[in-house]
Structure 1
């Protein structure tokens, strides 16, 4: 059995993802595919446009055999923590390989860069600290530290978003002493942050989401860029729930949360540092939308992504105290869905899986799972009753999705 691991968000699953999936299977000769997927809140600190359950269906119908949820405490974090949690789950499930998309398209630069920085870890950390103290953002400090340390050496371009994630995946494999073999597939056509359609069939998730929220005939405009299963589920979700999720849907709840918290309570929220609570309290009163709040908050020190994550933690009331004992490894595996092949594989290894495997949340207790459940409650609060109360029960009433693929 040759088992391929993928680390994904699928927000939503589009043709670029399908290309990556097929190329990854071809490159690794895999016959089982496991995807570790972010839940309802994502790495850039934003809600997924449709629920993790519908995104699980999209993945299973398009070639994935097992979908595992990446816990909130990893899914809504900087790239390094995100990668550590996801790789630890794939390792626990005995994956042979991990294949990720990148701007580079070649695995050797990732291997060489990882080895170089691990050999110079102390100097690298010191340089990062030095640059952060000048007031630049943390991602910028990483890039500057890397450039300063590498000098004239030809090493991976870590200014590109998928290269950054790929680098942290490979680093996590090294640090965890995993037997997983890394591979990469070059991103095709659309760039990670592209906001417009530049190819007849491949578009970024960013441009697809933008179209979905800006056009009355959105299903016609994205039809060429997503598999039929994705279009069908987006339309069905919107029809059943009268909405798709974005930050503006949650702004009134965020504003209420902030205005009913003391300065000390905001300070206690995870990732609120360096007096950020003062800016939040100042600008929330003046802001009439989430976008306006973000425009007022962003600065040289605070990136849009970091601020979105802070807002997510405020919305879910995730505190520094709750997050202080997080390790690099996930303490459990939450199963969201499987095909018949995926179920057979899981049955064949479950006695050798070193951490608890959860198919029913009511059968397992853990502080980090409590945060996952609370995040799910938060995600579903924007629905109207009685749909809201039905969706609030999803964590307990929805079994792992089973797909019989043709």
Structure 2
């Protein structure tokens, strides 16, 4: 059996995701589609709008055969570490291919970009450092450094989010020495940053989340598979919320204002006096949106600051993150599968080098401890009885099995 891996957040699963899963299978001829999905908090430093279980269910009813979890230590990182973690897990699942969406739709563009960056890496790194010293954010510095290298016009620009992630998937495969073939699917219609849901049947996840935040669930029905849309409604009916940062702001504010600055300084991604800025913003902000507006600077992007806020909320320190990142993944958390996915697990059982975990209660170590703590924080906005129940289920719940 051959498998293709896709790296996803499904926040939430929409028609564009359905198209990618379908094309990934078609382009590669794979028997099985495996999704590695971010668990609780996502790469942009946001809480997932619904739990990983609901998002895994969306995937399994819409073309994905097997779902594993991308743990917090990778899911809330910049593109390079995010890609390394996801590719490492997929490699251990013995995938033959990976597939990612892009505006290019041509994998040779990414291979050419990778070769170009290999040949100019030292100069690129030096340019990035010099531009960050001028006060530019890391994404802006990398974009300007890339442009200053004067690549040929045929070289894919290292500026768009999907190009950046695609480049790092290709780079991770090469750097880590995996025998995985990368493929890409041309994104249809909506672009990554589109903010409005139109009458088209594909919309960006950004526009869908914006509609959800505005309480306009009915406006997104046509851009999502029926089961995906129903699961969002089910989650809101069951828990009376769809997770946003505003549900956590009172906890973040309390944490910031009750923690000495010298301890805030130890939080992962807290650099250059940001602890003082966090405290001042916390004293004068009544919402997460307001806090972020006060935190935002030319040097620090919204995404970077949201990730910092996530690490403050979850009490993730530089020392802890350094410790868990210093080693390779120690296990794979299985979230769900269908019959085909189950058959693939049996087929690759003797080939996998990492244990496949179905219940975290049986797992020990720093990565598992971090994951349990972070999940408990994610569940904190739920009503007390629901929260207690979900905390227990998180370490005892078996994977979803779609018959």
TM-score by length of 1: 0.97
| 1:252-293 Cα distance to aligned partner (Å, 9 max, x none) | 010011111000111000000011111101111100000000
CA contact (8 A) 1:6 1:99 kept: yes
Kindly state the Cα deviation for residue 122 of structure 1 after the two structures are TM-superposed: 2.2
Asked whether the equivalents of residues 190 and 204 of structure 2 are also in contact (C-alpha less than 8 Å), the reply is yes
Q: How does 1:296-307 map to 2 (within 5 A)?
A: 296-307=294-305
Query: What root-mean-square deviation, in Å, do the aligned CA atoms of Structure 1 and Structure 2 show?
Result: 1.2
3-state SS of 1:135 partner: coil
Give the corresponding residue for 2:361: 362
- Give the aligned length: 402
> Could you say what secondary structure the match of 2:63 adopts?
coil
SS in structure 1 at match of 2:376: helix
Question: 1:130, CA displacement in angstroms?
Answer: 1.4
Corresponding residue to 1:261 among 244, 252, 259: 259
* Among 281, 284, 287, the residue aligned to 2:282: 284
Aligned to 1:183: 183
2:105 is matched with 105
Give the stretch that moved more between structures: 385-394 or 51-60.
385-394
Does the aligned pair in 2 maintain the 1:66–1:337 contact within 8 Å?
yes
Q: Give per-residue Cα distances to partners, 1:90-145, cap 9 Å, x unaligned.
A: 11111111110011111111001112212332222222211111110011111122
Task: Trace 1:70-219 onto structure 2 (pairs within 5 A).
Answer: 70-152=70-152, 154-215=154-215, 218-219=216-217
Taking the aligned partners of 2:83 and 2:98, their CA distance within structure 1 comes to 12
Q: Distance in 1 between matches of 2:374 and 2:102?
A: 30
Structure-2 separation of matches of 1:106 and 1:329: 31
SS at match of 2:348: helix
Q: Where do 5+ consecutive residues of structure 1 fail to align?
A: none
| Contact 1:190/1:199, CA 8 A, preserved across alignment | no
In the other structure, the counterpart of 1:51 is: 51
Q: Is the 8 A contact 1:72 1:372 kept in 2?
A: yes
Shifted more, 57-66 versus 143-152: the winner is 143-152
Distance in 1 between the 2:198 and 2:184 partners? Answer: 23
- For the pair 1:31 / 2:46, whether they are aligned, the reply is no
Secondary structure of 2:203's match? coil
Contact residue 24 and residue 33 of structure 2 kept, 8 A: no
**What SS is found at the alignment partner of 1:156?**
coil
- Secondary structure of 1:324's aligned partner: helix
Deviations 1:217-258 (Å, cap 9, x if unpaired)?
A: x33211101001111111111111111100000000100111
What secondary structure, in the 3-state scheme, does the structure 2 residue paired with 1:41 have? Answer: coil
Contact 2:197–2:219 (CA<8 Å) still a contact in 1? no
In the other structure, the counterpart of 1:397 is 396
1:322 maps to 320
State the distance in 1 between where 2:121 and 2:355 align: 33
Shift of 1:394: 2.5
Measure, in 2, the Cα distance between the counterparts of 1:307 and 1:25: 36
Q: 2:349, 2:286 → 1: CA distance? A: 50
Gaps (5+ residues) in structure 2? none
Aligned equivalents of 1:128, 1:355: Cα separation in 2: 36
Distance (whole Å) between structure 2 residues aligned to residue 77 and residue 338 of structure 1: 26
